[in-house]
Structure 1
Amino acid sequence: MPIQAEGVIRKLADPFDYGSAHMNPDRAVDPGLVYDIDPMEYTKFFNCTLGPKDDCSSYMGKLYQLNLTSIAPNLRNSVTVWRTVTNVGPLRATYQGAVEAPAGVNMAVNPSVINFKKGSTSATFKVTFTARHRIQGCYTFGSLTWFDGRNHSARIPIAVRTVIQDFVADIA
């Protein structure tokens, strides 16, 4: 029987309702890639939500631009999101991106291959989402996984909601 979410209104569970992951301590010690973020980015974002300032234009309404280990934008037509990964594995490594696009959304990663050579420890990539259908929708889910072809993989969940019109209930 399908898993149901807890709450007053019963619904089928989705990735927002599931647990995070199965913990594997051996793999956690050697993750290969991490999505590192300077704590000052969180402070800046928080301060911008309290009262917009001159340097807040890149953050207002765009939490999805923080270098988090997930991506969850609202999608009208097209959205581009940037992420930076840090190589904490072997000095020389090549990672191939594998995309599982959310239903009704085209998803492209550029570059789709990241090469780390001796001396380079971080790489920035962009993910572009384009709505295939102009329908006010619910969240659909996918993922982006970076594989090095050996024993490292770094997966982040994707949650996209197609939005045609803002409703008071959506933004209050």
Structure 2
Amino acid sequence: VSSIKQTLVINGENLSCLVSSSPVAKIEPAHTVTGKEIPEAKVASFSSRGPSRDYADIIKPDIAAPGANILAAVGDSYVMYSGTSMAAPHVAGIVALLKALHQDWSPAAIKSAIITTAHVTDERDMLILAEGVLRKMADPFDYGGGNINPDGAADPGLVYDIDPRDYNRFFRCTIVRRTNVTCDATALPAYHLNLPSIAVPELRRPITVWRTVTDVGEADSVYHAEVQSPAGVRMEVEPPMLVFDATNRVHSFKVKLSPMWRLQGDYTFGSITWRKDQKTVRIPVAARMTIQDFYADVA
């Protein structure tokens, strides 16, 4: 989970909390109040970044959520905390709501719904920035699928589901006393797992990966593919259209990624979006063209 910084300003005043031995709570319908001047959304400087050193063929982080200046209960008072530990409860709460709404969804389906409906722009349609030296436009190694969008996740249209047994095809994990977990990667790259993302850390020749989507929306739906290829990579999706009905709720498609040059390069990013009218199901794609392994490139 990555951390997004978003500031709430109420009439330009700082909020303070009073501690009382006889507290009184007031409950009223939720509403959002913002000032006229608010900072743009950005990934916090303290937020962890990808790629994953252990599993570079899986995009990390998965998602970004509010995690800066979060009001937290500590003892008999309240403090403002920042960090992934503050962003994670947002995601956990959304997962609980989604599970209550869709009790038959698997953990993978819930994760897919969250990632594929996330926002990569703020409410003003401005691109999200990533703090750091130097500041830059955020990419999937900063926020994964994007900034979490609970309303969209409740009705994602399509989900990338995974049978739990499929994980054993990619990872051999041993759990000892629930505290010691060791995993060994198999010879099969993890980008073949049916994740709502694709990451190819060593693209030296054309590769083809498959993905399977399940329609969890309307019974009769037609989705069209929109492909944004990573720079320097030719990415093709077949078939370019998926047709769902009451008897055909699951379809597979293949993604072919080809390097355009022989180049020792860095990661570039793109996306695959399935669109039906105004509904979009988007997954991030990361690829790095390489000629040979250099320690400095992966450390």
Q: CA deviation at 1:19?
A: 6.1
Alpha-carbon distance in structure 2 between the residues aligned to 1:76 and 1:5: 32
Instruction: Give unpaired runs (5+ residues) of structure 1.
Output: 52-58
2:85 is equivalent to residue 85 of structure 1: no
Equivalent residues in 2 for 1:89-128 (5 A)?
89-128=217-256
The SS at the match of 2:271 is strand
Q: Which residue of 2 aligns with 1:54?
A: none
Equivalent residues in 2 for 1:57-96 (5 A)?
60-73=187-200, 74-96=202-224
The SS at the match of 1:50 is strand
Q: CA deviation at 1:3?
A: 4.4
Q: CA deviation at 1:50?
A: 2.8
**Residue-by-residue CA offset, 1:111-140 (whole Å, 9 max, x unaligned):** 000001221111000010111111100000
TM-score, normalised with respect to structure 1: 0.82
Runs of 4+ in structure 1 over 3 Å off: 2-6, 10-14, 168-172
The answer to whether the 8 A contact 1:32-1:154 is kept is: yes
Equivalent residue in structure 2 for 1:46, among 160, 167, 171: 171
2:161 is equivalent to residue 161 of structure 1: no
Segment drifting more, 105-114 vs 159-168: 159-168
TM-score, normalised with respect to structure 2: 0.49
The SS at the match of 1:16 is helix
Q: CA deviation at 1:39?
A: 1.4
Alpha-carbon distance in structure 1 between the residues aligned to 2:188 and 2:294: 15
Q: CA deviation at 1:61?
A: 4.8
The letter for the 2-side match of 1:27 is G
Q: Which residue of 2 aligns with 1:56?
A: none
For this pair of structures, how many residues does the alignment match?
A: 160
Could you say if the C-alpha distance between residues 18 and 136 of structure 1 is closer, same or farther in structure 2, counting changes exceeding 3 Å?
Answer: same
Q: In percent, how many aligned pairs have the same letter?
A: 49
Q: Which residue of 2 aligns with 1:34?
A: 159
* Higher radius of gyration, 1 or 2: 2
The SS at the match of 1:82 is strand
Alpha-carbon distance in structure 1 between the residues aligned to 2:233 and 2:197: 16
The answer to whether the 8 A contact 1:75-1:131 is kept is: yes
Could you say if the C-alpha distance between residues 45 and 94 of structure 1 is closer, same or farther in structure 2, counting changes exceeding 3 Å?
Answer: same
Q: CA deviation at 1:5?
A: 5.2
Alpha-carbon distance in structure 1 between the residues aligned to 2:263 and 2:145: 29
Instruction: Give unpaired runs (5+ residues) of structure 2.
Output: 1-127, 174-182
The letter for the 1-side match of 2:289 is T
Q: CA deviation at 1:47?
A: 1.2
Alpha-carbon distance in structure 2 between the residues aligned to 1:166 and 1:140: 17
The answer to whether the 8 A contact 1:36-1:67 is kept is: yes
The SS at the match of 1:17 is helix
RMSD: 2.3
